[in-house]
Chain A
């Protein structure tokens, strides 16, 4: 074993053995292989290039095979779930997953848009199409992928029928409910978008203190004091002509290690827009992988990370232009305060023969304190001619002259700062679906760091 997991830790085998007879044999076999691979390589560590700046040592506290109990039947009202996710004003349909398990009592599934189905993965394992997807290799091949294959038993399955058009975003809440001892939740989600469907999908990841574990500010607080891992993989498939906006907002509590992976296969003339917003968690690692699998496929990747105190956020994105005339545009922005650190690694691959590809990547960062750090790296691998690829990264500070301009009109230093931070973020927030940003904007504004603002969260 080479990873950070100590050799004496319990392996994954007992967990896998326990699945025998409860799941199709091929799935248990697949888990066994993954468990064996994991025993071999362990968690990725900093000797691996993609993990150079991100240290998973925090996971040492969490027994990785210590999967959290199924809490789907814990009495949580939709209102409480939405409150925990920072969306108290949401009155539309919502599917709530607690540690990856669909919780019908916490959800409002009654008036899902026509043509949209939401189900729980564990109930769909006999579906051959799903089995096929489950067997496909994950785009990021490391020890975490093994963990997920071995341990994830549930998640969301979202199917959007051909030609479905929905104005209203489909909202999924993924709530971590840590118990009294450190534990992990691993789950995987599948999203199918039928031909020429048009839909906005939003995932919110947040922590819900379990009723038995009052937080430091009383029972209503969603800040727990127990280390926990939220580890998910989403696989999206966009059929011909589908136009999808997929927003993921992560605002887990500071004791959370968040690993969020998302891979999308974008078909002919389909358009995938991803908004990835990372606000919470002590450590957040995101891996986004987009395959533009047919001519005319396009992807827009927007990202925003706000970190402070000792938070660490790491975005690894890969856009694979496998076919001619595929397009991608990527804009990631970061605000880093306190002693926070960030990583942005944006890889763009243009394969041989993929002519007339247009790819544009931008990463902008504001360091709000002397202690904050960002490692940003574009990675362009171009094997075709006649392509237009550009990239740019900036690291700066708040513009002192702009601050002065605002203050010279009577705005307090804090208000001026907040306004500039919001302005910086607004370019990314502008692409978040209106229904959602309306419900969120207040709380996103609150999250913008002004001195003293973030103290209570840490």
Chain B
């Protein structure tokens, strides 16, 4: 079994929005080098979990704890979490008119580098870095000069999230439905970005980083292979297992778990 130390430990996490409890006691331990897929029908609380981990203030944590690299994650404001290495790829990336994508990325990277005690990158150094990442991820360079996500297609927004991931190099990446609305080529690129993050120079799996893949569909898991799969339903993890669990889900749908989901069939196609 994996002997790497835990990156994220969630214990009995309860969270509510507008007084309504959405997460009802989540337990999860993610160690370095692991990829955890969290699956479940719409409305199960997957995005809620992701947003709570990133520090969205609209959600109230009513019980439980989250430890990230040994410290209390819930005590930190969102920017501190980001600087310490938590990254959430949003299910619905925000459009920020008037802010150039390149300016945004550079500001974010330098905020994080500063926190890590690294020198800030100047415009030239940043450009060199971003060019290399864009090439790898086949991101249209024109997107850099445009306002953050403004008028981007669904696929472009998701690629932009992965570009941010590739530039910021977090220790814990949480990808929320990164696969939704992507064609197969875009999906492969996104998977390449995710897999690159977890791959060391000698092609071995990095044990200092980990990933949470939130998805409704099993298709993504052909391209980013999870080490663990969890089924989240109505705010609780109903079942956990290895990659096989995802295959069972694909074959049999959620019904096997006593879960009704009108979309599960569509996901398996």
Residues of A within 8 A of B108 (CB): 406, 409-411
A409 touches B57 (CB 8 A): no
Assess whether A400 is interfacial by the CB under 8 Å rule. Answer: yes
B79 touches A413 (CB 8 A): yes
B79 touches A405 (CB 8 A): no
B98 touches A427 (CB 8 A): yes
Give bound CA distance, A222 to B83, whole Å. 40
Q: How many A residues, CB 8 Å from partner?
A: 24
Enumerate B82-104 residues with CB–CB distance to A below 8 Å.
82-83, 87-88, 90, 93-94, 96-99, 104
B96 touches A423 (CB 8 A): yes
Assess whether B168 is interfacial by the CB under 8 Å rule. Answer: yes
Q: How does the 8 Å CB contact mask read for B40-58 relative to A, with 1 for contact and 0 for none? A: 0000000000000011111
Assess whether A404 is interfacial by the CB under 8 Å rule. Answer: yes
Which of the residues B57, B81, B96, B109 comes within 8 Å of A405, measured between beta carbons?
B96
A411 touches B94 (CB 8 A): no
B107 touches A419 (CB 8 A): yes
Which of the residues A404, A424, A427 comes within 8 Å of B78, measured between beta carbons?
A404
Report B177 CB to chain A, min CB distance, Å: 16
**Max chain B Cβ within 10 angstroms of own Cβ: one of A411, A412, A413, A426:** A411
Give bound CA distance, A405 to B149, whole Å. 12
Assess whether A407 is interfacial by the CB under 8 Å rule. Answer: yes
B77 touches A407 (CB 8 A): yes
Assess whether B111 is interfacial by the CB under 8 Å rule. Answer: yes
Task: Using A408-B54, A410-B112 as known contacts, say yes or no to A422 and B82 having CB atoms under 8 A apart.
Answer: no
Q: How does the 8 Å CB contact mask read for A225-243 relative to B, with 1 for contact and 0 for none? A: 0000000000000000000
Assess whether A382 is interfacial by the CB under 8 Å rule. Answer: no
Report B98 CB to chain A, min CB distance, Å: 3
Give bound CA distance, A173 to B129, whole Å. 44
Q: DSSP majority for the A interface?
A: helix
Q: Tell me how many residue pairs across A and B have CB atoms closer than 8 Å.
A: 76
Residues of A within 8 A of B87 (CB): 408
Enumerate A386-419 residues with CB–CB distance to B below 8 Å.
399-402, 404-413, 415-416, 419
Assess whether A259 is interfacial by the CB under 8 Å rule. Answer: no
Q: How does the 8 Å CB contact mask read for A87-115 relative to B, with 1 for contact and 0 for none? A: 00000000000000000000000000000
Residues of A within 8 A of B147 (CB): 423
Residues of A within 8 A of B81 (CB): 408
Of all chain B residues, the one with the shortest Cβ separation from A402 is B94
A412 touches B94 (CB 8 A): no
Residues of A within 8 A of B164 (CB): 409
Residues of B within 8 A of A422 (CB): 98-99
Residues of A within 8 A of B222 (CB): none
Assess whether B131 is interfacial by the CB under 8 Å rule. Answer: no
Top 3 A-B residue pairs of the complex, sorted by shortest distance between their CB atoms: A423-B98, A409-B108, A410-B111
What residues make up the interface of A, taking CB atoms closer than 8 Å to B? 399-402, 404-413, 415-416, 419-420, 422-427
What residues make up the interface of B, taking CB atoms closer than 8 Å to A? 54-58, 77-79, 81-83, 87-88, 90, 93-94, 96-99, 104, 107-109, 111-112, 115, 147, 164, 168
Listed A/B pairs (19) with beta-carbon separation below 8 Å: A401-B94, A402-B94, A404-B54, A404-B78, A405-B90, A405-B96, A406-B96, A407-B77, A408-B88, A409-B104, A409-B108, A410-B115, A410-B168, A413-B77, A415-B107, A415-B111, A420-B99, A423-B98, A425-B98
